[in-house]
Structure 1
Amino acid sequence: MSAEIICVGTELLLGDILNSNAKFLAQQLAQLGIPHYYQTVVGDNPERIKQVIEIAASRVQILIFTGGLGPTPDDLTCETIADFFGVPLVENAAIIEDISEKFTQRGRVMSPSNRKQALIPQGAEILPNPTGTAPGIIWQPRPGLTILTFPGVPSEMHRMWSETAVPFLKSQGWGKEIIYSRSLKFWGIGESILAEKVSAYLNLPNPTVAPYAGNGEVRLRISAKASDSTASADLISPIEKQLREIGGLDCYGADDDTLASVVGDLLRSSGETLSVAESCTGGGLGQMLTEISGSSDYFLGGVISYDNSVKVGLLGVNPEDLDKFGAVSATVAEQMAVGVKGRLFTTWGLSITGIAGPTGGNVAKPVGLVYIGLAGSGDEVKSYECRFGAMWHRSFIRYMSACQALDNLRRSLLKR
C-alpha cells in the first residue's frame, strides 16, 4: 500500500510559490506508516493532469492532490479527475450552503463563480474545509484506489488533513504502523568519507540509514517502521549509538540541534562565557548565537571590526602586524580573539577575518580564504586557516565561516 502526492499549479512550476504542501504531506504519510515513492508537480492543464493520473493510478493505491480547487477557470482538479474516470460532476447543496454561510459571516455575498467549488464527482464524499471555501473530496473511483483532494492553501490543507483525512485513512486500516526518523548531524567530514565509514549500515532493512548533505554539513537519517514511536525509537537507539561512535567528534548533534545550540549548551554547562569579533561575516556569527533562546546566559556580545581602524582601536590589533601580514591573516585573527575576550571579560574570544568575495582576492590570498581565531583560558590562543574556494557565493562563504568558527569552539570545549 503506497501513496503519491500530486501538486497542481502552474505557479509551482514557475517557482512563484514554494511547495511546502509536499513536504508536509510526506512527513504526515511517514507518521502514518504509509510509504510514498513519488511526488509529482503538474501545471493547470487538463491533459497533463490526466497523464499524471494515469501513471500514478497504475502504481499506487492512494492519490493525494493539492491545489486547483478554487473558483477560477484555471482551477481544474476536480473536473479533470471526474473526466478521467468518466463520471459526471454534480452540484452538492451542502457545499453551497457552507460557502454561502462563510461569505455571510464575513459580511460578503457569495460570487456566482464560487458555485464551481460545489461541483464534485458523482459518488464522491466531501472532505470538509472548516476555514476556506474550497472543500476537498474523498473518492474511491474503483476498487483499490482512493483519491483525496485538498486546496493549495497550506493552513486550510493542514487542518483538513488532521481533522478528516487522517481519521479516514486509519478507518481504512492504514496507519497501523508509523515511520519515525532521527537525523544525526556531522560537521567537518565529507559525505563520501562518512558513507564509507558507515557503509555496513546503509543496507539495513529496518531501521534504514541514508546519508545526505547540504549547507556544509552531512546528515545520517535513521528511519524505523514500527507500531508506535516508542517501538521505532527502540529500533533506532542502538544504531544511533553505533553511528555516533563511528562519527566521533564529527557528529555534533541530532534533529533540531545546531552548531550554535550545541556550543551554547556546552558553555552553559561549564559556566563559561563567549564574545566574538567579526570582520567578513559582519555579525553573522553573533546572529547565529543569539537565535538561541537564553543565549544571554553565556554570550555577552561582540565587535564587528570591519575596518582596520576598529581592529586597532577597539580590539588592540597591532597596526604593524596589519601592515606586515594583512587583515586576513592568522596573526590578526588571533589578536582579534584575544582583544574581544579582554574587552568583554569573557572566558572565550572567537574571531573571523577573511575574503568573502566576489572581489578582494588575489593569488596569495584568494576569495574564500578565512582565518578563525580562538582565545581560551589563560594565554591560550589558536588560529585556523580555511579555504572555502572562490566558486561559492559571498553569502555562503560568510555562512560557512560562522559555522566553522562555532565548530572549532565546540571541539575545543569537548577536548579539554
Structure 2
Amino acid sequence: MSAEIICVGTEMLLGDILNSNAQFLAKQLAQLGIPHYYQTVVGDNPERLKQVIEIAISRAQILIFTGGLGPTPDDLTCETIADFFGVPLVERPEIIEDMAEKFAQRGRVMTSSNRKQALIPEGADILPNPTGTAPGIIWQPRPNVTILTFPGVPSEMYRMWEETAVPYLKSQGWSQEIIYSRSLRFWGIGESALAEKVTSYFNLLNPTVAPYAGNGEVRLRISAKAPSEAAAEDLIVPVETQIKEIAGLDFYGVDQETLASVVGKLLLQSGETLSVAESCTGGGLGQMLTEISGSSEYFWGGVISYDNSVKVGMLGVNPDDLAKLGAVSATVAEQMAVGVKTRLSTTWGLSITGIAGPTGGTDTKPVGLVYIGLAGPKDEVASFEYRFGQTRTRPFIRHVSACTALDVLRRKLLTREP
C-alpha cells in the first residue's frame, strides 16, 4: 500500500507560491508508516489532471489531493475526479448549512458561487473543514483506490489532516513500519567541519544520519524505521547522545528549537534579563526574540541605533570613538552593549554593528564585517569580530548576524563561572 501526493494549482507551476503542503504530507505519511514514492504538481486543467490520475492509480493506492476545491471556475478538482471515474456530482445539504453558518459568523453573505463547494462525487464521504468553507472528500471509487482531497490553504489542510484523515488512515490498517526523525541543530560550525567529526555515523543503516545546511546553520537528521515511535526513539537516542558529545557547544537545539528559544530558556532558568542594540540588523534580533511566546519575561526591549546620532544620544557611545574608529568597530559594539544594558536596566546587553552591503564596504572594512558586543553582570564587556563574506547577500548577512549574536550569548550563559 503506497500513497501519491497530487497538488493542484497553476500558481505553483508559475512559482507564485511555495508548495509547503507536499512537504507537510510527506512527513506525515512517513510518520504513519505509509510509503509514498511520487509527488505531482499539475495546473488547473481538467485534461492534464485526468492524465495525472490515470498515472497515479497505476502505481499508488492512496491518492491525496490538495488545492482546487474553492468556489471559482478554476477550482476543478472534485468535478474532474468525479468525471474521471464516471460518477455524478451531488449537492450535499449539510455542506450548504455549514457554509452558511460560517459566513454568518463572519458577518458575510454566502454567494451562489459558494454552492459549488457543496458538490461532491456520489458515494463519497465528507472530509470536514472546521475552519474554512471548502470540505474535502474521502472516497473509494474502485477497489484498492482511496482518494482524499484537501483545500490548498495550508492551515485548513493541516487541521483536516490531523482531525479526520489521520484517524481514518490508521483505522484502515495501512500503516507499516514508521519512519521517525529527529533534527539536531548546530551553530558556529560549517557543514564540512561537522561532517568530518561525525563521518562514521553517515554509514549507519538504521538509524540513518544525514546533514543539511542553510542560512548559516547545520542540521543532522537522525531517522529510524521501527514498528512504533517508542521503538524508533530507542534507536535514535544513543546516536543522538554520542553526536552531542562530539559537537560540544556547537550543538544548540533539537527539532523546532531556535537560538532565540534556547537563549530564552537559559535566561528564564537564571532569572536574568536581556536588552539589545542593533545597527545593521535593523531590529531583526529583537524580532527573533519576540517571536517566542512569553519572551517578555526576560527580554525587555531594544534600540535600533541605525544613525550615529542615536548611538550617541540613546546609547552613550563616545562621539570621538565614532569619529576615530567608525561605527563598525569593536569599541563601538562594546559601548552599544553597555549603553542599552544601562539604559534598560537589564542583566545583559547585546549589540550588533556591521556592514550588510551590498554597498558601504572598503578595503579595510569589507561588506560582511560585523562586530557583536556583549555586556553582562559585574561590568564585564566583550566584543567579537566576524567576517561573513563580501559576496553574501544583505538578507543573509543580517540574518546570520542576529543568529550569531544569540549564539554568543548562549555560549556565555552555558560556560560562565557560577
Q: Shorter-chain TM-score: which interval?
A: 0.7 to 0.9
Question: 1:147: which partner in 2?
Answer: 147
2:50 maps to amino acid: K
Q: How does 1:320-359 map to 2 (within 5 A)?
A: 320-359=320-359
- Counterparts of 1:64 and 1:368, CA distance in 2: 45
Greater shift after overlay, 288-297 or 402-411?
288-297
Q: Give yes or no for the alignment of 1:3 onto 2:3.
A: yes
- Counterparts of 1:110 and 1:339, CA distance in 2: 59
- Counterparts of 1:409 and 1:141, CA distance in 2: 60
1:345-388 C-alpha deviation (Å, 9 max, x unpaired): 44333211111223222222222211111233445432211122
Q: Give yes or no for the alignment of 1:19 onto 2:19.
A: yes
TM-score (norm 1): 0.86
Q: How does 1:196-215 map to 2 (within 5 A)?
A: 196-215=196-215
Question: 2:128: which partner in 1?
Answer: 129
Given that 1:99 and 1:110 are in contact with CA atoms closer than 8 Å, whether structure 2 keeps it comes out as no
Greater shift after overlay, 237-246 or 20-29?
20-29
- Counterparts of 2:146 and 2:394, CA distance in 1: 48
Q: Give yes or no for the alignment of 1:178 onto 2:174.
A: no
The DSSP-based 3-state class of the residue aligned with 1:202 is: helix
The Cα RMSD (Å) is 2.9
The DSSP-based 3-state class of the residue aligned with 1:173 is: coil
- Counterparts of 2:203 and 2:46, CA distance in 1: 41
Change (3 A) 1:6 1:237: same
The DSSP-based 3-state class of the residue aligned with 2:88 is: strand
Change (3 A) 1:271 1:165: closer
Question: 2:66: which partner in 1?
Answer: 66
Question: 1:308: which partner in 2?
Answer: 308
Question: 1:89: which partner in 2?
Answer: 87
Question: 1:38: which partner in 2?
Answer: 38
- Counterparts of 2:73 and 2:290, CA distance in 1: 48
- Counterparts of 1:70 and 1:279, CA distance in 2: 45
Given that 1:322 and 1:332 are in contact with CA atoms closer than 8 Å, whether structure 2 keeps it comes out as yes
Question: 2:97: which partner in 1?
Answer: 101
The DSSP-based 3-state class of the residue aligned with 1:242 is: helix
The DSSP-based 3-state class of the residue aligned with 1:89 is: coil
Report deviation, 1:117. Answer: 5.5
2:237 maps to amino acid: S
Given that 2:134 and 2:151 are in contact with CA atoms closer than 8 Å, whether structure 1 keeps it comes out as no
Report deviation, 1:244. Answer: 0.8
Q: Give yes or no for the alignment of 1:273 onto 2:269.
A: no
1:46-73 C-alpha deviation (Å, 9 max, x unpaired): 3432343344334433221122234544
- Counterparts of 1:27 and 1:232, CA distance in 2: 15
Q: How does 1:238-253 map to 2 (within 5 A)?
A: 238-253=238-253
Given that 2:367 and 2:390 are in contact with CA atoms closer than 8 Å, whether structure 1 keeps it comes out as yes
1:90 maps to amino acid: P
The DSSP-based 3-state class of the residue aligned with 2:6 is: strand
Given that 2:277 and 2:351 are in contact with CA atoms closer than 8 Å, whether structure 1 keeps it comes out as yes
- Counterparts of 2:136 and 2:92, CA distance in 1: 10
Given that 1:127 and 1:136 are in contact with CA atoms closer than 8 Å, whether structure 2 keeps it comes out as yes
The DSSP-based 3-state class of the residue aligned with 1:311 is: helix
Change (3 A) 1:135 1:339: closer
Question: 2:368: which partner in 1?
Answer: 368
Report deviation, 1:190. Answer: 1.7
Change (3 A) 1:329 1:155: closer
Question: 1:220: which partner in 2?
Answer: 220
- Counterparts of 1:269 and 1:399, CA distance in 2: 26
Change (3 A) 1:62 1:371: same
1:386 maps to amino acid: Y
Question: 1:48: which partner in 2?
Answer: 48
Identical aligned residues as a percent: 72
Question: 2:395: which partner in 1?
Answer: 395
Change (3 A) 1:162 1:138: farther
Structure 1 portions without partners, runs of 5+: none
The DSSP-based 3-state class of the residue aligned with 2:30 is: helix
The DSSP-based 3-state class of the residue aligned with 2:74 is: coil
- Counterparts of 1:115 and 1:244, CA distance in 2: 54
1:98 maps to amino acid: E
Greater shift after overlay, 24-33 or 158-167?
158-167
Question: 2:383: which partner in 1?
Answer: 383
Given that 2:213 and 2:219 are in contact with CA atoms closer than 8 Å, whether structure 1 keeps it comes out as yes
1:96 maps to amino acid: R
Change (3 A) 1:46 1:365: same
Given that 1:3 and 1:62 are in contact with CA atoms closer than 8 Å, whether structure 2 keeps it comes out as yes
- Counterparts of 2:355 and 2:320, CA distance in 1: 20
Question: 2:292: which partner in 1?
Answer: 292
Question: 2:165: which partner in 1?
Answer: 165
Question: 1:263: which partner in 2?
Answer: 263
1:174 maps to amino acid: W
- Counterparts of 1:46 and 1:410, CA distance in 2: 54
The DSSP-based 3-state class of the residue aligned with 2:252 is: strand
- Counterparts of 2:384 and 2:110, CA distance in 1: 67
1:118-158 C-alpha deviation (Å, 9 max, x unpaired): 352x7x53244355354424225354x43322333445544
1:125 maps to amino acid: A
Greater shift after overlay, 154-163 or 389-398?
154-163
Aligned residue pairs total 409
Structure 2 portions without partners, runs of 5+: none
